[in-house]
Each structure stands twice: as structure tokens, then as C-alpha cells.
Amino acid sequence: MADTWSGEFYCVKCKEKREAEGQVVETNGRRMAKGTCPVCGTNLNRILGKAG
């Protein structure tokens, strides 16, 4: 999968929602977007739902 997902992530370090773009990966049968916070550089994760 080389899909990208653009939308809202929650940054745990900033404690705010951030607009970012991330790569879509599959982990344990669930699709997940992984990106980077544009403000502090922390890794962001968002669960998108089951794959398939």
C-alpha cells in the first residue's frame, strides 16, 4: 500500500488537533494513517478502520 491520507490527527504532545498528511499502513487487520506533526515533529497516528 502506498496510499496517503490527509485529514485531522490529534497531537498528544501539543494536545491539539492538527491537519496533516500521512501514509496508510495496515497493522493487525486495521488501516492506520501515520504522519508527523507540522508544529512539533511528533509522530501522529490515526486509526481509519478495518482493511478489506
Write the CATH number for 17.
2.20.25
pLDDT at 21 over 90: yes
> What pTM value is reported for the model?
0.79
d(CA 2, CA 4): 7
User: How many domains would you assign to the chain?
Assistant: 1
pLDDT at 9 over 80: yes
Q: Give the pLDDT confidence score for residue 27 in this predicted structure.
A: 86
d(CA 33, CA 46): 5
What is the per-residue pLDDT across 29-50, written as a single tens digit (0 to 9) for each? 899 999 999 999 999 999 998 7
Residue range(s) defining the domain that contains residue 23:
4-50
pLDDT at 52 over 80: no
- Per-residue pLDDT, averaged over 9-32, amounts to 94
